[in-house]
A and B are shown apart, each in its own frame.
Chain A
Amino acid sequence: MPKSMFEKIWEAHVVRDVPGESTILYIDRHLVHEATSPQAFAGLRAAGRKVRRPDATIAVLDHNVPTLQVRGRRVLELVDQASALCITTMEQHAREFGVTLFDMNDERQGIVHIIGPEQGLTLPGMTIVCGDSHTSTHGAVGALAFGIGTSEIEHVLATQCLLQKKPRSMNIRIEGSLGPGVTAKDIALYMIGRLGTGVGTGHVVEFSGSAVRSLSMEGRMTLCNMAIEAGARAGMVAPDETTFTYLKGRPFAPKGTLFEKAVEAWKQLPSDPGAHFDTVHEVSIDGLAPQVTWGTNPGMVVDVTGRVPDPADESDPQKRRAYERALEYMGLEPGQKITDIRVDTVFIGSCTNSRLEDLRLAAQMVKGRHVAPGVRALVVPGSMQVRRMAEEEGLADIFREAGFEWRASGCSMCIAMNGDRLSEGERCASTSNRNFEGRQGKGGRTHLVSPPMAAAAAIAGHFVDIRDF
């Protein structure tokens, strides 16, 4: 019986599966950060329990860390007391429970979903969890990776397992090829716009098709990252030579003959021909234009050449009301041209789009130009390693010379916990994943775009079609 990749990984991790009970599913890798774990460690301590597999648990500071530095170092004084407490508590829990922590001055520090693949902590065929919805990112290497709540973090810390009901499977085939200036982010936004923010609910989604095959590892990560914005439990892409080449030599990846042995096993992971999926969708991306969101969820998106939609054109009353609310919050008028929307701030960062490839594409737009007057523009690399590599390549200089702020890594303005945030009414072109009300700061207005689209908006002061920029 042919099996999907999801079924293969699921079955390989079942500890106990008895009718009438939840499945006990084994977790290979548990990634932890300071924003959602304090209460889990406290619960563990209160119950007198230990971390079952400290060797399979890696912690990092990312949500609350400052992205500014003082003499090349990050210090707690750069964030408020509440953020500082989250940081010191994580440090204390890591010591107490024997968990490896990449602290805010560790050269391996970065956003948890950037450093997992970057350090080779994330490998094909694994089950990976983290108290963060964008854990779906790690599925790009061919893993089953999903976000969990704090009670579940405590469960994994104590047992290295989770109680799960088997999700349904979905295949989203993405066919076609990307034109110049169009990226994995545009595919993700377009897909969510077409299929809806709830399409993946209850499903693990495998992305396949010619467009996915030709994406780089980093592009696949962007796509899987946004799977949660389509409601999916997890997103995944079958591992191939692109994956193996990417992983080889990473610090925590297997070495030598063990790597060769692992690759042989990983080659068995892709879905068998004729494997059953509960749901199948197909999306064609030929001729796809760069995408810009206009509303308050990632599915409210149009081509950069388009206009803000008119709620009056919507026949479904619930949708019409949602559109009206979104336009009011965003301060936009029906029919307004996307390229007429001016921005106050540009944020290039987040677990969606802050890898080296993203910064390269953004820098191409910026080189030899300058940020428009009155626009605040930030680049927050996804990890300190990305930051170092970008500096070595000269990308940092391109951004700085153009008037961008060049920061240290962290979640930063994607979630606005560390002091990097929008103020009331401020409009931002952002490479992050959520344009929710208040996401980047109370009253802030977020337009989701790709890194080169964000960079070009910083230069022009409004959205532009980068295909003729």
Chain B
Amino acid sequence: MEPFTRLKGLVAPLNRTNVNTDEITPARFLKTISRTGFAQALFANWRYLGDDQTPNPDFVLNQPRYQGATILLAGDNFGCGSSREHAPWAIREYGFRCVIAPSFADIFYNNCFNNGILPVTLPEPTVLELFKEVEATEGYTLEVDLAAQTVTTPDGRVFQFPIDAFRKQAMLQGLDNIGWTLSHLDEIRAFEERRQQEAPWVFSLK
């Protein structure tokens, strides 16, 4: 897993609620066996005119002032819908390392951690305030510090965000989740033996 510690970066605003993973990565881009090549897929139905090639000048991410943004500011319930990890793959490959929103859909939220993207939940009034500031100020940056669990504005205001303690450590260290779970293989084996006694029908598949 790609670690995340601190990030100071340009912020791009996507001021819409309920942005779903079909909008983040339309299904036609899922027809691949690769884990890369998704930068072009990000918000494809909004980002391009017609043919997935010509940039739509009206779409916010296409504005020159947001080029090189590493922090995406979004509306409530971001990442709802499908479980496709292609959505965080596209977000990461495009260049974002952090998404800030009032709330995230569960599966998307989990998927972010597995791809080195930090999902930051801040109260809705704070996010709405940040939208105003980003839109009003060209070159607006935020500083995100995972260890301290803070987002700091250019004028020095500090917002705390919540995060699960284990996930935080895993992300700071870039933990290999599978390796960590496999380090508890004895407990998994013991569980399987017990479960086979208690619910043998679960194991009767073959």
Contacts and interface: CB of A to CB of B under 8 A. Distances in A.
Contact of B181 (A55, A56, A82, A163): A163
A201 B77 contact: yes
A88 B115 CA distance: 27
A148 interface: yes
A95 interface: no
A258 B204 contact: yes
A154 B200 contact: no
A163 B177 contact: yes
Interface stretch (B66-74, B132-140, B149-157, B187-195): B187-195
Nearest to B106: A233
Given A26-B191, A417-B30, A434 B81 contact: yes
Given A35-B30, A231-B105, A436-B23, A123 B164 contact: no
Contacts of A258: 200-201, 204
Interface stretch (B3-11, B31-39, B53-61, B91-99): B31-39
A252 interface: yes
Contacts of A58: 205
B161 to A, nearest CB: 15
Given A318-B17, A416-B27, A437-B22, A24 B33 contact: no
A435 to B, nearest CB: 10
Contact of B106 (A39, A161, A201, A415): A201
A233 B106 CA distance: 6
Question: What class of interface size applies to chain B in its complex with A?
Answer: 35 or more
Interface in A221-279: 228, 231, 233, 252-254, 258-259, 261-262, 265
Nearest to B115: A151
Interface in A180-207: 197-198, 201-202
A443 to B, nearest CB: 8
Nearest to A130: B83
B85 A36 contact: yes
Contacts of B182: 158-159
Given A22-B164, A133-B107, A417-B27, A297 B18 contact: yes
A303 interface: no
Nearest to A433: B81
Contacts of B205: 55-56, 58, 121, 252
Given A436-B81, A442-B26, A197 B18 contact: yes
Contacts of A150: 35, 85, 111
A148 B82 CA distance: 9
Nearest to A202: B106
A304 to B, nearest CB: 24
Interface of B: 16-18, 20, 22-23, 26-28, 30-35, 45, 75-77, 80-85, 88, 103-107, 110-111, 114-115, 164-167, 177-178, 180-182, 184, 187-188, 191-192, 195, 198-206
5 contacts: A86-B33, A151-B115, A163-B180, A231-B80, A322-B16
Given A198-B105, A318-B76, A436-B23, 6 more contacts: A15-B188, A39-B35, A148-B83, A198-B76, A201-B103, A322-B16
Nearest 7 CB-CB pairings of A with B = A151-B114, A82-B31, A38-B33, A254-B201, A149-B111, A149-B85, A147-B83
